[in-house]
A = this chain, B = another copy of it.
Amino acid sequence: MSVHTRRSPNPLTPVAQKFILHWGEMGTRWGINRTVAQVHALLFLSPQPLPADEISETLAVARSNVSTSLRELQGWRIVRVVHVLGDRRDHFESIKDVWEIFRIVSEERKRREIDPTLRVLDECVQEIKASPQGDAYTRERLTDMLEFLTAMTGLFEEVIRMPAGALKGVLKLRGKVVTMLGKKAG
Contacts and interface: CB of A to CB of B under 8 A. Distances in A.
A114 B113 CA distance: 21
Which of the four size classes fits the interface of chain A?
35 or more
Contacts of A144: 96, 98
Contact of A184 (B13, B173, B182): B173
A145 B19 CA distance: 11
A28 interface: yes
A127 B30 CA distance: 27
Contacts of A99: 148
A145 B22 CA distance: 13
A22 B175 contact: no
Interface in A153-179: 154-155, 158-159, 161-163, 165-175, 177-178
Contacts of A19: 120-121, 124, 142
Contacts of A159: 178
A89 interface: no
B151 A168 contact: yes
Nearest to A120: B22
Nearest to A186: B166
8 contacts: A15-B138, A19-B124, A98-B144, A102-B148, A158-B178, A162-B185, A166-B181, A166-B182
Q: Which 6 A-B pairs have the closest CB atoms?
A: A169-B185, A166-B185, A98-B148, A158-B178, A47-B137, A22-B120
Given A45-B137, A165-B186, A172-B184, 7 more contacts: A18-B120, A18-B127, A19-B124, A26-B117, A31-B31, A162-B182, A168-B185
